[in-house]
Amino acid sequence: AMAGVQSDQSAPSLQKLRKVIKEAFSNFDKIGNNTVQPDEVGTIMRYLGQFPSESDLKDTIIPELLDEEPNREGLVTFDAFEKVMLRNMMDRVYDPDDSETLLAAFRVLDPEGRGYIDSNLMHEHLSSGEGKAASDAFRDREMSDFVEYAKDRESADSSRIYYEDYVAKLTADIEKHLEHLYQDARGSGVG
C-alpha cells in the first residue's frame, strides 16, 4: 500500500482546501479586493476549523501574513493567507484540541470531580492569571458566548456548566461545521 494513504483518507484534497480557504476569505473580504483586516484572521481560521490562541495570532500568524506580502495599508492579502493556511491545515498545526485535551483543561477547574463548573468561577478563572492558557482561547465576547452555550439549558440552575456535555457538543459542532464546509466546496465550480 502507498505510505500514509491508509492513515488519513479523510484529508481533503489540496483543491478542496483551496476552495474552502477562498470561500472563507471571501466572506470577510468586504470590498472584494482580496484583502482582509489582520484582526479578522482569527475568525476566518476558526471558521476553517483552525484554533490558534490569541498569542499565536499576534506573535506568529499575523506577522507572518504581513511579511509574506507587505502592503501600505497593513492588510492581509489572500495570496499570503492561502499560502500560510494551506501549510497550517496540511500540517494540522491549529487543529482543534481533541475532546480529551479540552476535558483535561476543565477538570482542573473541577477538583472535586463533580462534573460541572460554576460559571462565575469559570469567568474568574479565565480572566485571571492562572487561566492564561484557557483565556488565550477566549476573548470576552467569546467568553459570554461560551458560558451561554455551555450552560445546561435543561436545569433550572444555569450557573452550572456541565463541561462534559459541552465538550461533546462543541466537538460535534466543529465536526458538523467542517463537514458542511467541505461538502459545499465539493459543489460545482461556479463563482
Q: Which residues contact 179 (CB under 8 A, 6 or more apart)?
A: none
**Predicted local distance difference test score (pLDDT) of residue 106:** 81
pLDDT, tens digit, for every residue of 53-80? 889 999 999 999 999 988 889 999 999 9
* Mean pLDDT score, 143-147: 61
- Looking at the predicted structure, is the pLDDT value of residue 166 above 70? yes
Q: What is the pLDDT of residue 154?
A: 55
Residue 5 pLDDT class (50, 70, 90 cuts): very low
Is the predicted pLDDT of residue 165 greater than 50, yes or no? Answer: yes
> What pTM did the predictor assign?
0.68
- Which residue, among 22, 35, 11, 159, has the nearest Cα to 95 in the 3D structure? 11
Residues 6+ apart with CB under 8 A from 32: 26
- Average pLDDT over the chain reads 79
Q: Are 30 and 69 in contact (CB under 8 A)?
A: no
Q: How confident is the model at residue 3 (pLDDT cuts 50, 70, 90)?
A: very low
Three-point CA angle 93, 97, 103, nearest 5°: 160
Specify the DSSP class assigned to residue 151.
B
Output the CA–CA distances (angstroms, integers) from residue 66 to 58, 59, 62, 72, 105, in the order listed: 11, 12, 6, 10, 33
